Amino acid sequence: MFVVHEDDFEYRFGDSGPKYLMKGPRMNFALVAFQPGQDFPAHYHNVMEENFYILEGEIDIEVDGVVNHLRPGQMIHIEPGEVHYCVNRSDAPMKMVSTLAPYQEKDKVEV
């Protein structure tokens, strides 16, 4: 058992990207932030499945060519092999939870 606080971690790109509160041994847990206009490259995972739960703002998450416009309270589940792309097309910041499991140290394939 352990307890962490998000203030003890940093977003990958300063004010945006993933902020991992836990990486492994069985899953990853992260907060993800996007400022207006920011995106994350399209990619897929060979083994890990990914979930995004929207906390604040809005985000477009494209999965295998289908755009899903998500708002707070919505969750999207992405299976291994499904290509996904995230972009904040709104004029406000957004924040979401991301979980990835089962944990793999290197499983992201950019397309």
For the segment 5-16, what is each residue's pLDDT rounded down to a tens digit? Answer: 999 999 999 999
Strand partners, 101: 49
pTM of the model: 0.94
Give the confidence band of 85 by pLDDT, cuts at 50, 70, 90.
Answer: very high
Instruction: Give the residue extent of every domain in the chain.
Output: 6-103
Q: What is the pLDDT of residues 10-59, one digit of tens each?
A: 999 999 999 999 999 999 999 999 999 999 999 999 999 999 999 999 99
pLDDT at 76: 98
Is-cis flag, bond preceding 80, omega within 30? no
Strand partners, 54: 96
* 6-103: CATH class: mainly beta
